[in-house]
């Protein structure tokens, strides 16, 4: 049986050890895995996420670079910068930190990073694998879905035949996660802001994944029984305190839950760094 609190820490420790070794092997061949984050503007939440990514990247021995551009950047200058990074052989992984500023929103952001360096797994060439049924978590697939599935696997929580309700249909979490869960034989309900009778739906779930972005949204009345598992993707600021989407009372009622902080967040970051090492290995294959 799994613990009530599905903490990322023990799994992150294991994964870091493995990634350090893979990084070391590459360095012994003269290759330093290197990631570049492109940030437009200075959104404080983005700066915090980027710091977390940099920390883990450097902890495993990889190289980190931040390219920051002003919020006023012209679309053509932004595209030129990405073109340069896509062709720079010393850079193995690129992410465009989201959200981008309004002036860039017309660009085809998910497809601007070349598929081989797309460690976010947003490029259509990479999401295609999920769309066509893969369950292979070693591919360059989106980091939050990958991290959630890895965490559930680690705690021995199976998905085959389970009813999973995912709330939120974003490109980063809800869409790819719902497909991946379906590939793993879960029955998936993808709910969103226009869903009617959400409580009735979540009450029948085996697993509820909340990616809403509202503190204490999931209260005990969203739970139907005491055997439910709650996966909290929320990263919210409540009076200066980092909180998830799930209330303390709902956590208490559940069979198990992922904490915030210390749950899905660290799994997302370690999955990104894993994608960086995979991308590097793929690019330097003999």
* Catalytic position from the list 117, 118, 120, 175: 120
Three-class SS of 253-286: HCCEECCCCCCHHHHHHHHHHHHHHHHHHHHCCC
241 is an active site residue: no
Q: Which is nearer to ligand GUN, 117 or 253 (CB)?
A: 117
Nearest 10 degrees: Cα torsion 118, 149, 230, 211: 20
Question: Crossing angle for the helix pair 143-154 and 9-28, nearest 10 degrees?
Answer: 120
53 belongs to the catalytic site: yes
Residue 152 binds ligand GUN (CB under 6 A):
no
Tell me: does residue 98 bind ligand GUN (CB under 6 A): yes
Is residue 95 near ligand GUN by the rule CB under 6 A? yes
CB of 142 to ligand GUN, least distance (A): 7
> From the list 36, 96, 148, 250, which residue makes contact with ligand GUN (rule: CB under 6 A)?
96
Question: CA-CA-CA-CA torsion for 286, 270, 165, 217, nearest 10 degrees?
Answer: -150
Give 22 or 53: the residue with its C-beta nearer to ligand GUN: 53
Q: How many helices (H) and strands (E) does the chain have?
A: 9, 10
Catalytic site includes residue 118: no
Q: How far is the CB of 95 from ligand GUN (least distance, A)?
A: 4
Distance in Å, CB of 280 to ligand GUN, minimum: 18
**Smallest distance, ligand GUN to C-beta of residue 143, A:** 5
Does 172 bind ligand GUN (CB under 6 A)? Our answer is yes
Q: How far is the CB of 161 from ligand GUN (least distance, A)?
A: 29
Is residue 63 a contact partner of residue 88, using CB atoms and an 8 Å limit? no
Q: 275 CB contacts (<8 Å, ≥6 apart)?
A: 93, 119, 120, 121, 140, 141, 143, 146
Q: Whose Cβ is closer to ligand GUN: residue 189's or residue 268's?
A: 268
Site map for ligand GUN, 39-58, x if CB under 6 A?
A: ----------x---------
Give the DSSP H/E element, type plus range, for residue 128. Answer: helix 124-131
Shortest Å, Cβ 31 to ligand GUN: 24
Catalytic residue among 17, 27, 42, 53: 53
- The contact pattern for ligand GUN, residues 105-144, with x = CB under 6 A and - = no contact, is ---------------x----------------------x-
Q: Evaluate whether 124 touches 111 at the Cβ level (below 8 Å).
A: yes
- Confirm or reject binding of residue 208 to ligand GUN (CB under 6 A): no
Q: Retrieve residue 49's tokens.
A: 């996420």
Beta carbons within 10 angstroms of residue 234's beta carbon: 24
Q: Write each residue from 247 to 266 as x if it is in contact with ligand GUN (CB under 6 A), else as -, in one continuous string.
A: --------------------
Which residues of the shown chain bind ligand GUN in the complex (CB under 6 A)? Answer: 49, 95-98, 120, 143, 172
Q: Which residues are the active-site residues?
A: 53, 97, 120
């Amino acid at each position: 049986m799994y613990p009530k609190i599905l903490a990322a820490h023990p799994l992150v420790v294991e994964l870091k050890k493995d990634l350090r070794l893979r990084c070391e092997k590459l360095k012994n061949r003269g290759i330093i895995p290197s990631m570049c984050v492109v940030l437009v503007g200075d959104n404080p939440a983005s700066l915090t996420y980027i710091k977390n990514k940099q920390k883990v990247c450097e902890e495993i021995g990889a190289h980190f670079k931040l390219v920051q551009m002003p919020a006023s950047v012209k679309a053509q200058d932004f595209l030129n910068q990405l073109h340069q990074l896509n062709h720079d052989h010393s850079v193995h992984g690129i992410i465009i930190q989201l959200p981008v500023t309004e002036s860039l929103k017309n660009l085809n952001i998910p497809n601007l990073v070349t598929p081989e360096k797309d460690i976010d797994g947003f490029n259509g060439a990479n999401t295609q694998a999920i769309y066509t049924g893969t369950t292979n978590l070693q591919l360059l697939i989106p980091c939050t879905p990958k991290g959630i599935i890895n965490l559930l696997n680690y705690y021995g929580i199976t998905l085959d035949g389970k009813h999973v309700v995912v709330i939120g249909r974003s490109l980063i979490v809800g869409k790819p996660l719902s497909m991946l869960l379906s590939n793993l034989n879960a029955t998936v309900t993808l709910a969103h802001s226009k869903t009617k009778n959400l409580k009735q739906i979540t009450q029948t779930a085996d697993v509820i994944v909340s990616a809403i972005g509202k503190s204490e949204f999931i209260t005990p009345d969203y739970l139907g029984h005491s055997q439910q598992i709650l996966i909290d993707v929320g990263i919210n600021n409540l009076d200066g305190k980092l909180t998830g989407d799930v209330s303390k009372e709902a956590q208490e009622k559940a069979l198990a839950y992922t904490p915030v902080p210390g749950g899905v967040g660290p799994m997302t970051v370690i999955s990104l760094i894993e994608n960086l090492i995979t991308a590097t290995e793929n690019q330097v294959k003999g």
